[in-house]
Amino acid sequence: MLERIPFDSLGHADFGWLDARHYFSFGRYTDRSRMGLGALRVWNDDRIAPGKGFDLHPHRDMEIVTYVREGAISHEDSLGNAGRTEAGDIQVMSAGDGIVHGEFNRETVATKLFQIWFIPRTNGGKPWWKTRAFPERQPGAGFTALASGFEADQAAGAIAINSDSALHAGRFNAGDTAEVELSAEESAYLVVAKGGVAVNGLALGERDGLKVTGPERLAIEADAASEVLLAIMR
């Protein structure tokens, strides 16, 4: 079953320095029909002003994946980690039994990113943080697993996470196609980061979401130069 989630229906919070859209209930935005999907609990679309960011704050028992769409994000945490993640790449923070971190836009332009939270397979454990630059994804080459709790994806280069979930990304030129098959035990959430695509004939515009419950075979066709993120949960 497919359910289109229009961008203009998302929750919205504007703090001046942060303009955030929420695909699921988050902060002051509550929609009982949008409380998550399987292990996927949060998907935020954030725009962070130059020189601004999230001050140090704590997390625990959550796998937090940040996908940078434009600009870059700089990270620091209570473990002594520090790093910078650029557009097209990801950082992963496994909060484990507790970590304090901050995220800042130290660039001269706005940073746009997706912040995606997965519920862990098991709570507790040692927290950690990692960032990785991925090779340039060629349009029409299908999806690349960026972060995953599944061994096959990890063997192909995805950052391992403690969740029965995976985040994939793909780039497409107009007319490019891809297919994804979900089993009855799987669900998926797709977001068009850029451009526009049709999924099984259902048109999705830029930053629209798509909720998918299996079993389902997804036939994706790009209407224009597009970038698509796809989370799969078991």
List, for residues 132-180, the tens digit of each pLDDT value. Answer: 998 888 888 899 999 999 999 999 999 999 999 999 999 999 999 999 9
d(CA 11, CA 7): 9
DSSP state of 134: P
Average pLDDT (88-115) is 98
Half-sphere exposure of 233 (CA within 13 A, CB side): 20
Average pLDDT (99-108) is 98
Domain extent listing, the chain: 2-132, 143-233
At position 183, the amino acid (one-letter code) is S
Average pLDDT (52-67) is 98
Contacts of 175 (CB under 8 A, 6+ apart): 221, 222
Q: Are 165 and 178 in contact (CB under 8 A)?
A: no
Nearest to 124 by CA among 155, 165, 94, 92: 94
List, for residues 195-204, the tens digit of each pLDDT value. Answer: 999 999 999 9
2-132 is classed in which CATH architecture? Sandwich (2.60)
Question: Hey, is 119 helix, strand or coil?
Answer: coil
Residue 150 backbone zone (phi > 0: left; psi -120 to 50: alpha; other: beta): beta
Dihedral over alpha carbons 84, 86, 88, 90 (to 10 degrees): 10
**128-132: strand order across its sheet:** 11-14, 18-22, 40-48, 111-118, 63-70, 90-94, 128-132
pLDDT at 141: 87
d(CA 92, CA 150): 15
What's the whole-model pTM score?
0.96
d(CA 5, CA 19): 19
Matching fold, domains 2-132 and 143-233: yes
Q: Are 170 and 227 in contact (CB under 8 A)?
A: yes
143-233 is classed in which CATH architecture? Sandwich (2.60)
pLDDT at 135: 81
Q: Are 174 and 204 in contact (CB under 8 A)?
A: no
pLDDT at 24: 98
pLDDT at 193: 97
